[in-house]
């Protein structure tokens, strides 16, 4: 059995890989500058642990259909626990460790993978959780529903990232409609698993340390939909 | 602003969180499904697979995949030196390395100014 879970080299052509590599670098540069204000003596160790936790859980492939499995991406977990800027760095670090240390995910595919899971997945997960923050802050049950939905949607939209990349520069000439149907179908099933893991993780942490859940911590919205700081937000 | 009691509680929580990650990577990883994941299922569609999951006949996206540049590295494919049954050890190494890299980066990036949001 070969455990591999991310894009290999050669699935998209070099110009596409390079273009998404550039988008990944720019996105992470912006994220690291924005991440500073979300990191302090308490949240920095939390962010390190959340990253290690996502690495661990990504190893656990769960069955979704006979002959097919899925695993956590983690975008909604990190977005809800440490915020989208720090969270996108968490997922990118996991992907780099997996590619460099475990030969999982091609080196030239790192850009496409980072865009799909660390940027698209995290920010979509955050957008869903942020839209439902009223529900999430009302009760534990509301938080769990929010986490489930954010987890599910983050996986499905991240899978669309691959479809877009394949449509732009995919190798092998597979029918794009078939790729789209299969990717969305399989990742809807995986998304149910992701939603359950996201709900269990965020729910458990909120039960013991709600102050360490980014989505619950701030009384006002820290960011608007375009990621700018909202005037009047604290700190 | 943070009292010693609160710091102890935070340390306990962080230690518990790390333990959970280590148990998942070091133990639960043995129960992980060996079937291809969602993306691999799509890229392998159209191909017949050999016993070890490599495409051997037909036409599929995965046939365009190159070998990993670091395929011979000591922890490649979540095994230690290619050994059977070492996924748990590889997982523990991964958790520790990820924690050091991520924790180090976030610690260096953290804002030193006192926060007033408590």
Range of the domain at B18: 1-32+72-118
**Other beta carbons within 10 Å of B6:** 12
* B83, B112: one domain: yes
Domains in chain B: how many in total?
A: 2
Q: What burial class does residue B106 get, using C-beta atoms within 10 Å of its C-beta: 0-12 exposed, 13-18 middle, 19+ buried?
A: buried
For residues A134 and A144, what is the distance between their CA atoms, to the nearest angstrom?
Answer: 12
Q: What confidence tens digit (pLDDT) does each residue in A162-211 have?
A: 999 999 999 998 999 999 999 999 999 999 999 999 999 999 999 999 99
For residues A202 and A81, what is the distance between their CA atoms, to the nearest angstrom?
Answer: 7
Residue A91 in contact with residue A118, Cβ under 8 Å? yes
* B47, B100: one domain: no
- Can you give the pLDDT of all 118 residues of chain B as single tens digits? 455 666 777 899 999 999 999 999 999 999 999 999 999 999 999 999 998 888 999 999 999 999 999 999 999 999 999 899 999 999 999 999 999 999 999 999 998 765 444 4
pLDDT at A166: 97
* B116, B76: one domain: yes
Residue with tokens 């460790």: A97
pLDDT at B8: 76
Question: A31 pLDDT exceeds 90?
Answer: yes
Contacts of B61 (CB under 8 A, 6+ apart): A11, A166, A170, A171, A172, A174, A179, B42, B43, B44, B45
Residue A106, by phi and psi: left (phi above 0), alpha (psi -120 to 50) or beta? beta
* B27, B40: one domain: no
> Across all residues in chain A, what is the average pLDDT?
93
Q: What confidence tens digit (pLDDT) does each residue in A59-80 have?
A: 999 999 999 999 999 999 999 9
Question: A1 pLDDT exceeds 60?
Answer: no
- Residues in chain B with CB shorter than 8 Å from the CB of A59 are 24-25, 29, 32, 78, 87, 91, 94
Residue B42 in contact with residue A170, Cβ under 8 Å? no
Question: A9 pLDDT exceeds 70?
Answer: yes
* B81, B117: one domain: yes
**Other beta carbons within 10 Å of B51:** 6
- Residues in chain A with CB shorter than 8 Å from the CB of B24 are 53, 56-57, 59-60
**Other beta carbons within 10 Å of A10:** 20
* B76, B116: one domain: yes
Residue A35 forms contact with B (CB below 8 Å): yes
pLDDT at A124: 98
- What one-character-per-residue DSSP string does A192-211 give? HHHHHHHHHHHHHHHHH-GG
pLDDT at A235: 41
* B23, B50: one domain: no
A85 Cα to chain B: minimum distance (Å):
11
* B27, B79: one domain: yes
Q: What confidence tens digit (pLDDT) does each residue in A93-142 have?
A: 999 999 999 999 999 999 999 999 999 999 999 999 999 999 999 999 99
If pLDDT is split at 50, 70 and 90, which confidence band does A228 have? Answer: low
For residues A170 and A164, what is the distance between their CA atoms, to the nearest angstrom?
Answer: 9
For residues A199 and A56, what is the distance between their CA atoms, to the nearest angstrom?
Answer: 17
Q: What confidence tens digit (pLDDT) does each residue in B64-96 have?
A: 999 999 999 999 999 999 899 999 999 999 999
For residues B26 and B85, what is the distance between their CA atoms, to the nearest angstrom?
Answer: 11
* B39, B15: one domain: no
**ipTM for the complex?**
0.91
pLDDT at A219: 57
pLDDT at A29: 98
**Residue A220 carries which DSSP code?**
S
Q: What burial class does residue B69 get, using C-beta atoms within 10 Å of its C-beta: 0-12 exposed, 13-18 middle, 19+ buried?
A: middle
Residue ranges of domains in chain A, CATH in brackets: 14-217 (1.10.1760.20)
DSSP H helices in A116-175: 122-131, 133-138, 140-169
- Residues in chain B with CB shorter than 8 Å from the CB of A99 are 70
CA angle A187, A179, A67 (to 5 degrees): 55
Calculate what percentage of chain A has a pLDDT beyond 90: 89
Question: A19 pLDDT exceeds 50?
Answer: yes
* B61, B45: one domain: yes
- Asked whether the beta carbons of residue B87 and residue A159 sit closer than 8 angstroms, the reply is no
Residue A224 forms contact with B (CB below 8 Å): no
* B25, B76: one domain: yes
- Asked whether the beta carbons of residue A70 and residue B38 sit closer than 8 angstroms, the reply is yes
pLDDT at A233: 44
pLDDT at A68: 96
If pLDDT is split at 50, 70 and 90, which confidence band does A217 have? Answer: confident
A-B C-beta contacts closer than 8 Å = 247
- Residues in chain A with CB shorter than 8 Å from the CB of B22 are 56
Residue A194 in contact with residue A73, Cβ under 8 Å? yes
* B26, B40: one domain: no
């Amino acid at each position: 059995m070969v455990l591999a879970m991310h894009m290999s080299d050669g699935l998209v052509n070099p110009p596409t890989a390079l273009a998404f590599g550039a988008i990944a670098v720019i996105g992470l540069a912006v994220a690291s500058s924005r991440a500073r204000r979300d990191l302090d003596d308490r949240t920095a160790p939390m962010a390190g642990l959340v990253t290690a936790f996502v690495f661990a859980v990504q190893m656990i492939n769960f069955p979704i259909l006979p002959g097919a499995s899925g695993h956590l991406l983690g975008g909604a977990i990190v977005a809800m626990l440490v915020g989208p800027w720090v969270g996108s760095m968490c997922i990118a670090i996991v992907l780099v460790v997996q590619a460099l240390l475990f030969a999982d995910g091609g080196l030239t595919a790192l850009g496409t993978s980072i865009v799909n899971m660390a940027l698209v997945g995290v920010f979509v997960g955050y957008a869903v959780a942020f839209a439902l923050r009223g529900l999430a802050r009302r009760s534990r049950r509301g938080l769990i529903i929010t986490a489930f939905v954010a987890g599910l949607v983050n996986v499905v939209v991240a899978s669309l990232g691959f479809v877009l990349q394949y449509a732009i520069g995919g190798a092998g000439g597979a029918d794009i409609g078939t790729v789209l149907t299969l990717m969305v179908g399989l990742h809807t099933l995986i998304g149910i698993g992701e939603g359950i893991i996201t709900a269990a993780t965020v729910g458990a942490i909120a039960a013991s340390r709600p102050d360490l859940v980014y989505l619950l911590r701030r009384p006002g919205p820290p960011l608007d939909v375009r990621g700018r700081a909202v005037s009047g937000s604290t700190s | 602003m943070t009292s010693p009691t609160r710091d102890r509680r935070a340390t306990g929580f962080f230690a518990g969180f790390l333990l959970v990650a280590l148990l998942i990577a070091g133990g639960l990883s043995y129960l992980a499904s060996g079937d291809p994941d969602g993306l691999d299922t799509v890229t392998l569609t159209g191909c017949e697979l050999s016993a070890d999951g490599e495409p051997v006949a037909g036409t599929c996206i995965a046939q365009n995949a190159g070998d990993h540049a670091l395929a011979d590295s000591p922890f490649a494919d979540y095994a230690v030196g290619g050994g059977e049954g070492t996924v748990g050890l590889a997982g523990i190494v991964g958790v520790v390395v990820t924690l050091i890299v991520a924790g180090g980066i976030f610690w260096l990036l953290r804002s030193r100014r006192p926060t007033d949001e408590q």
